[in-house]
Amino acid sequence: MLRSFAVVASLAFALPAVAAEPPNVLFIAIDDLNDWVGCLKGHPQALTPNIDKLAARGTLFTNAQCQAPLCNPSRSSLLTGLRPSSTGIYGLAPGIRAADVTKDRVTLPQSFTAAGYFTFICGKIYHPGSIPPKDRAAEFGEWGIAPGMGKPEKRIAQLPGTPHPLMDWGPFPEKAEDAADYKIASAAIAALNKAPKEKPFFVACGFALPHVPCFAPPEWFAKFPLETLQLPPVKENDRDDTPRFSWYMHWKLPEPRLKTLTDRNEWKPLVRAYLASTAFVDHQVGRVLDALEKDGRSGNTIVVLWSDHGFHLGEKQITGKNTLWERSARVPLVFAGPGVAANAKCGRPVELLDIYPTLLELASRPAKKDLEGLSLVPLLKDANAKRDRPAITTHNPGNHSVRSERWRYIRYADGSEELYDLAADPNEWTNLAGFTEHAEVKKDLAKWIPKGDRPHAPGSAQRILTYDPKTKAVTWEGKPVLETDPIPEP
């Protein structure tokens, strides 16, 4: 269940002394992980002891927000330091180099590769196909494996029709060693062991789970018996006070609606699979962190762990991402290592965009003035430090969410709005946008909405939504959407 967090900064731990030599960086990405993490208390049965341990020795951001609730635009934004509204990268394509504004841009990994770091990548850091082969050497010195998830002989989840191949969940494979994320962790461990001692390293490790298909070895499912499984809180008529435009965010997507799951008795199995997949990923995170500790360089290594966006598991009557609500926009974000306060929690609204400038400052690299994020170093030293702006999440041109410490304000391309008081309503069940007493709140938050969104970059494809303010025409992946069209029900 979503909780609101007070800003807590422990003063019981002194800041580690900044090392004289350049610090290493261990960059851990997790795909589609929402706040179902023990230290974030998003689900009471979440089992993530290794992420929790990392958070305890560093700073946990309890109000971190993604720039886009979809893999490619979120990762492209983080790695280039620009918002989707600044690049035009909103969908699953194009890649980072396809947009005019990013074709020559220095990415976060490039900054460390050019600085003489030993740089290594394995798993999913960029969205697949985002970096052309000719550009790979400039990004990372060494490219490791990025294995596929694999699939069982027969589909496990019982869904109607012919579901998308990714829409499956259950125990698979039998052995942990055969799972993609186990192999990715092993590759990261090997890279840490081979990283030369005479130079700093930047090792990026991108895990695939809990992205669908939610597969994990049977032993991880055994940790979450169906008979005691707790489902997330949902409100049956939750969408009655949300604009029709809110449905366009995930119009005709393959992720099943809640009704489909309940009709097929698949809601509990999906929730169980998500928890099992998350626990399995956490174990892989632990393997990598243990290897770092054994290597002896943990004390001079900045560890940053993040997820590209969240994931609905029935909330707002849907599953998947592609929304501007808390469940889809809020992400885990943890920093630990030299220059970072230990056992600290920060409730300020921060963004994935902030990772790039933060790592540059922590590593004593020159600041880049063209980054749209803000360094988190002041908050890593003092979790109560001032933060002057909210966090912005964008999904296709004209659709933005503004998240402050207390409020979430959403404005869609057609001008329709939502407003939620997260302190009183952590599940975002009551849309307050129509209440006149909150007009000043909306006005204050609205001033942060990006102005003049770039149109879709050339080559944009999949999950593309457009709105023409002159004709009020809506198109979804190039096809007209009419006011009379019924809400899709997969």
Q: Which of 71, 122, 214, 346 is catalytic?
A: 71
- pLDDT attached to residue 490: 66
Mean pLDDT score, 249-260: 96
Tell me the pLDDT tens digit for each residue of 455-486. Answer: 999 999 999 999 999 999 999 999 999 999 99
CA distance 209 to 29: 10
Tell me the pLDDT tens digit for each residue of 384-420. Answer: 999 999 999 999 999 999 999 999 999 999 999 999 9
Partners of residue 171 on adjacent β-strands: 216
Cα angle, residue 313 at apex, residues 149 and 77 outer, rounded to 5°: 65
Tell me the pLDDT tens digit for each residue of 63-105. Answer: 999 999 999 999 999 999 999 999 999 999 999 998 999 999 9
For residue 205, which phi and psi values (nearest 5 degrees)? -130, 115
Tell me the pLDDT tens digit for each residue of 275-312. Answer: 999 999 999 999 999 999 999 999 999 999 999 999 99
- pLDDT attached to residue 6: 36
CA distance 176 to 227: 25
Q: For residue 489, what pLDDT band results from cuts at 50, 70 and 90?
A: confident
Nearest of 412, 401, 465, 472 to residue 68 by alpha carbon: 401
Tell me the pLDDT tens digit for each residue of 422-431. Answer: 999 999 999 9
DSSP-derived pairing of the beta strands 330-336 and 479-481: unpaired
Q: For residue 7, what pLDDT band results from cuts at 50, 70 and 90?
A: very low
Q: For residue 9, what pLDDT band results from cuts at 50, 70 and 90?
A: very low
Nearest of 488, 484, 125 to residue 320 by alpha carbon: 488
Could you tell me which residues come within 8 angstroms of residue 441 by beta carbon, excluding any fewer than 6 positions away?
407, 409, 419
Mean pLDDT score, 434-460: 97
Cβ atoms within 10 Å of 241's Cβ, excluding its own: 13
- pLDDT attached to residue 15: 43
What's the Rg (C-alpha) of the chain?
A: 21
Q: Which of 127, 312, 400, 456 is catalytic?
A: 127
Sign of CA dihedral 151, 157, 158, 160: negative
Top CATH class of 19-390 equals alpha beta
Catalytic-residue membership of 71: yes
Determine the residue type at 220.
W
> Is the pLDDT assigned to residue 16 strictly greater than 70?
no
CA distance 179 to 211: 13
Mean pLDDT score, 269-273: 98
Map out the domains of the chain as residue ranges: 19-390
CA distance 349 to 204: 25
Check: CB of residue 210 under 8 Å from CB of residue 32.
yes
DSSP-derived pairing of the beta strands 201-207 and 24-30: parallel
Could you tell me which residues come within 8 angstroms of residue 88 by beta carbon, excluding any fewer than 6 positions away?
99, 101, 454, 455, 456, 457, 460
Catalytic-residue membership of 214: no
- pLDDT attached to residue 1: 36
